[in-house]
Amino acid sequence: MEENEFSQLKSLLNGTWHGEGYAKFPTIEDTAYTEICSYEPDEETNILRFEQKTWYKNETPNNGRIVFWDTGFILLKDTDVLLISAQSGGRVETYRLQEIKDHRFFFDSVDINNDGKTIRSQRIIHVYDSYLDYELNMATRQATEFQNHLKGSLKKLALQAKETP
């Protein structure tokens, strides 16, 4: 990917997104969740910081509690676009952008640490108009079939003025 293409990616993702999603996998209890996700580019470098936070949305005692919290960076390193993710459960993943098609970005895992269960992971991010849809697909040692784990649909919130230090 060239620097100009990465600038387009930063521009598409820039902002705060809010919506809902659904988690399912053979090793967990299915659940709906609400989510807020933010992407903040560094205008001086080829780095985009992100934070994703989700809360249970169901009829259980967990309703309103945090399901998942993820933070990291999307960055251009040489000719590769990498997504580096540090998750609240301790897992750290590195993904490489494999394909871009119709504003869909396909990131495949190249390194997974602090998690002996997950053997493959993929994130697909689709940005259009003021919407962002995503999927997280994975395989684990217990559920070896590569399958969908998370699916969410988010809407971009209005941009607010940012204060300069």
- DSSP secondary structure, 124-145, as one string: EEEEETTEEEEEEEEEESSS-S
**Full domain range(s) for residue 64:** 3-155
In a domain, 161, yes or no: no
For 41-65, write each residue's pLDDT tens digit.
Answer: 998 999 999 999 999 999 999 999 9
pLDDT at 160: 60
In a domain, 162, yes or no: no
In a domain, 115, yes or no: yes
In a domain, 49, yes or no: yes
Q: How far is CA 78 from CA 2, 3, 6, 82, 107, in A?
A: 9, 10, 12, 10, 17
pLDDT at 68: 92
User: Residue 61 gets which letter from DSSP?
Assistant: T
In a domain, 85, yes or no: yes
Q: Give residues with Cβ within 8 angstroms of 77, minimum separation 6.
A: none
User: Residue 8 gets which letter from DSSP?
Assistant: H
CATH code at position 130:
2.40.128.20
CB atoms within 10 A of CB 24: 13
Contact 120/107 with Cβ under 8 angstroms?
Answer: no
For 111-152, write each residue's pLDDT tens digit.
Answer: 999 998 889 999 999 999 999 999 999 999 998 999 999 999
Name the domain count of the chain: 1
Show the CA angle centred on residue 81, arms to residues 126 and 107, nearest 5°. 45
